[in-house]
Copies of this chain bind each other. A is one copy, B any other.
C-alpha cells in the first residue's frame, strides 16, 4: 500500500488556509499513486491549544470535518486528519480515518496529553485506539505523545496492526522521530508513519523529520515525485523528511512481529516471544 505524509506549517485558526494545504497535498498524493494521506496533529486548525480553547467554535470544527471528508472523496484518497472534539461534552484531540468515499472508518481521542498547555485546553480520551482494515492492511491510529509510550503501540501490534498512523506536533525533541519512532516499529515488527508540522506556528518551531519507519526500524524507501526509476536497483533515499515542507511518499506492507522461528529463521520474534503472563505476575508483586 502506498501512503503519503504531509509535512507543513499550518496557520493557527485559519481553517481555510490549512484545508487548502491539505487539499493540495491530497491532489499531489493521489497523483503519485498514494491510497492514503496522513496529516499532522490538529493541522486543520493549527497546533495552538490555548487559542483552540478560547476561540474555536464547535460549528467551525464540524464544518472542517465535512470539508475534509469532501477532500478525500474529491481526490479518491483515504485521509487521516486530526481535529479538536467539539467542546460539548468536552474537548479532546482526535484523529479520524476517512476512506476514499468520504466515510469515517475510525476515530481516536488522544489518551496521553503532553504537558500543561495541552492539559489545560483538552481532556484525555479513555478508549482503546482503533484499527481499520484498508487496502489489505490493518491500520492503527495514535496521536503524537502517545507513540512515545511503548504500551500504546504494543497494544495495537498485538491486536494485528500492520501500520500505525501518527499525526504529531513535535517541537524541540528530535530524539522522538529519530529514535523512539523507529524503536516502536522494530520492537513490534510493524510500520510506524509519523507526520509532523515544520517551521514556526503559534510561537513554536516544529521539528519536521516526518518518517515512515519499517518493521526493521529503518525508514521505508522514499518514492520520489515524477516517473518511476527505470531500474528497480536504483539507489533509494529513506522516507525521512528534513525540516522543510514536504510530501513524503512510501510503500508500506504487512507486519512481521508475529512470525515464529519456523516462519523466519533469523528473528527477532518479538510478539511471539513476549511473556504477557509474566509481566502481569510481576506487576502483581507490587
A interface residues (Cβ-Cβ under 8 A, vs B): 111-112, 114-116, 126, 128, 145, 148-151, 154-155, 159, 172-173, 175, 179-180, 182-184, 186-187, 216-218, 261, 266-270, 273-276, 278-279, 281-283, 285-286
Contact A283 B179 (CB under 8 A): no
In the complex, A151 Cα to B175 Cα: how many Å? 20
In the complex, A276 Cα to B273 Cα: how many Å? 22
19 residue pairs from A and B, CB less than 8 Å apart? A111-B278, A115-B269, A116-B261, A126-B281, A128-B282, A128-B285, A148-B187, A149-B187, A149-B274, A150-B150, A150-B154, A151-B274, A151-B276, A155-B283, A172-B266, A175-B216, A175-B217, A179-B183, A183-B184
Contact A268 B148 (CB under 8 A): yes
Contact A173 B115 (CB under 8 A): no
User: Which of B267, B276, B278, B283 is in CB contact (< 8 Å) with A115?
Assistant: B267
User: Which of B172, B187, B275 is in CB contact (< 8 Å) with A112?
Assistant: B275
In the complex, A279 Cα to B128 Cα: how many Å? 8
Task: Tell me the smallest distance from the CB of A99 to a CB of chain B, in Å.
Answer: 24
User: Which of B155, B175, B216, B217 is in CB contact (< 8 Å) with A279?
Assistant: B155
Task: Tell me the smallest distance from the CB of A120 to a CB of chain B, in Å.
Answer: 11
Contact B116 A173 (CB under 8 A): no
How many copies altogether?
2
User: Which of B154, B175, B270 is in CB contact (< 8 Å) with A148?
Assistant: B270
Contact B182 A186 (CB under 8 A): no
Contact B186 A275 (CB under 8 A): no
Contact B268 A173 (CB under 8 A): yes
User: Which of B111, B145, B150, B179 is in CB contact (< 8 Å) with A268?
Assistant: B145
In the complex, A48 Cα to B244 Cα: how many Å? 50
In the complex, A114 Cα to B187 Cα: how many Å? 14
